[in-house]
Amino acid sequence: MDHTGYRSPLSTRYASKEMQYLFSDQFKFSTWRKLWIMLAKAEMELGLPITQAQIQEMEAHVDDVDFAAAAQEEKATRHDVMAHVHVFASQCPTAAPIIHLGATSCFVGDNTDLIILRDALDLLLLRVASVIKSLMDFALKYKDLPTLGFTHLQPAQLTTVGKRCTLWVQDLVMDERNLRFLRENLRFRSTKGTTGTQASFLELFNGDSAKVKQLDAKVTELAGFSKSYAVTGQTYTRKVDVDVVSAIASLGSSVHKMCSDLRLLASMKEVEEPFETTQIGSSAMPYKRNPMRSERCCALARHLITLQSNAANTHATQWMERTLDDSANRRLTLSESFLAADACLLTLLNISQGMVVYPKVIERHILQELPFMAAENVIMAMVKAGGDRQVCHEKIRVLSHEAGAQVKQHGKDNDLVERIKADKYFEPILGQLEHILDAKTFTGRAGEQVVEFYEEEVKEILEKYADKIQTKEVKLEI
């Protein structure tokens, strides 16, 4: 392998072979050839003088693209499509006169991009569904395990480990919905001609407008699309790219939020991502268990989020029927958004399949805060036992501050419960303290919400991908 030139880390380290292939030269240029064949088939069917022999000749050379010859041609012509037309024509001398007949460069360029977007969205949707399934299994398993909730990153009312996980899943459910909407509404450019008017095809069919419309429909169907865009300039509107990349950027924000939470939980030693037996956390500190997978997800997700502005600015600057300043930018933006999203989701699937929970650590953290949170319940119990609410409130306030000082000033454990037990005022409710301080009484409907969320929101989505969801353990190569 040549290590002297730049290679994208998305290809060498992160993205899957399947996603890389969709953005490869082989897939791109073999798809160009398939599009030329689709065009010829539709034109022949509608009466143009094209033979089956010519089509068969082209079909025999769909995949054997001579990349070196195409590069030489492009160097001379400065035109990538004509370079490949010439190379394909040299391989198909009989078909040469009818290759690219009536078409503009965007016939192969844009239509290929739409095929890639379609197939790449299909792959991303499967990845998202697989992560949702794995995380939902985790949420259901830990639906009743109490844990500190946090607002402002300060301890708040208790939730459960499973309920918190549903917050991550809900974001991904929204991402699945957005991506699926785009996939289901994606259309084909088909045979719209040089500026979108179909003038060249109208000329080919001697002014027969009905046949031009049929040609557009037939090529659309051959490519596997149900509809084509009703109007285009030279290109399909780059608004399509904006919508797709925006949805992927939104997915990036979901991944970043979840993995940031995991990094915080790992710091607290409550929940950890998988850590292999031979894995090294630090070159200097042997004890370290760095959340490198979550950190990788956050890094890639931030890149995803930035790409949205690229797509939006490219669409905004497409003058009239089109300008070519979209080309170089789209080569980077479209491929990197899908490759980075693919890498994020594969890493996230690896994380979700092996998350480790430490209930004893979680319990210890709860016990440090729960006495404060239980103060209102203590007051209510005392009132029911005949006490005065205001007197009790003042007693609890004083004892809470004393216990807080032990924690903050002396680094000791929270001893509010011991202080309550030692105060004769609270004798009427001492038998109830164990129940009052039961963490499970502070989690509300969290466990029920997890089950309801699965039944009402998630189950239907997973059924759409039931036969394809990846349940086999994902291994990270690097």
Q: What is the pLDDT of residue 478?
A: 63
Sign of the dihedral defined by the CA atoms of residues 92, 97, 100, 104, in that order: positive
Asked whether residue 185 falls in the same domain as residue 306, the answer is yes
Asked whether residue 320 falls in the same domain as residue 239, the answer is yes
- Two structure tokens written together for 140: 């259901």
Asked whether residue 267 falls in the same domain as residue 389, the answer is no
Q: What CA–CA distance (Å, rounded) separates 69 from 87?
A: 7
Residue 152 is a catalytic residue: yes
Of 43, 75, 98, the residue that ends a domain is 98
Please report, for the domain that includes residue 79, its CATH number. Answer: 1.10.275.10
27 part of a folded domain: yes
CA 209 and chain centroid, separation: 43
Q: What is the pLDDT of residue 79?
A: 83
22 part of a folded domain: yes
Catalytic residue among 90, 226, 282, 327: 282
Average pLDDT of each block of 10 consecutive residues along the chain (478 residues)?
73 84 94 96 95 95 90 85 91 93 92 97 96 96 95 91 98 98 96 93 95 97 96 94 97 97 95 69 52 93 95 93 89 93 95 93 88 81 89 88 84 83 86 84 93 96 88 72
247 part of a folded domain: yes
Asked whether residue 402 falls in the same domain as residue 261, the answer is no
Q: Rounded to two decimals, what is the model's pTM?
A: 0.89
Q: What is the pLDDT of residue 281?
A: 52
Asked whether residue 143 falls in the same domain as residue 28, the answer is no
Q: What is the number of structural domains in the chain? A: 3
Q: How many CB atoms lie within 10 A of CB 10?
A: 20
| 3-class DSSP assignment, residue 357 | strand
SS (H, E, C) 61-80: CCCCCCHHHHHHHHHHHCCH
- Exposed/middle/buried for 268, CB within 10 Å: 0-12, 13-18, 19+? middle
Asked whether residue 124 falls in the same domain as residue 89, the answer is no
Q: What is the pLDDT of residue 303?
A: 94
CA proximity to 178, closest of 231, 254, 289: 254
Asked whether residue 78 falls in the same domain as residue 118, the answer is no
Q: What is the pLDDT of residue 147?
A: 95
Q: What CA–CA distance (Å, rounded) separates 92 from 99?
A: 9
Of 56, 73, 98, the residue that ends a domain is 98
Q: What is the pLDDT of residue 54?
A: 95
Asked whether residue 385 falls in the same domain as residue 348, the answer is no
Residue 315 is a catalytic residue: no
184 part of a folded domain: yes
406 part of a folded domain: yes
Range of the domain at 41: 15-98
Asked whether residue 55 falls in the same domain as residue 172, the answer is no
Asked whether residue 117 falls in the same domain as residue 93, the answer is no
Asked whether residue 262 falls in the same domain as residue 351, the answer is yes
Asked whether residue 37 falls in the same domain as residue 134, the answer is no
Q: Looking up tokens 């899943």, which residue turns up?
A: 169
Of 55, 76, 98, the residue that ends a domain is 98
Q: What is the pLDDT of residue 401?
A: 86
Q: What is the pLDDT of residue 287?
A: 44
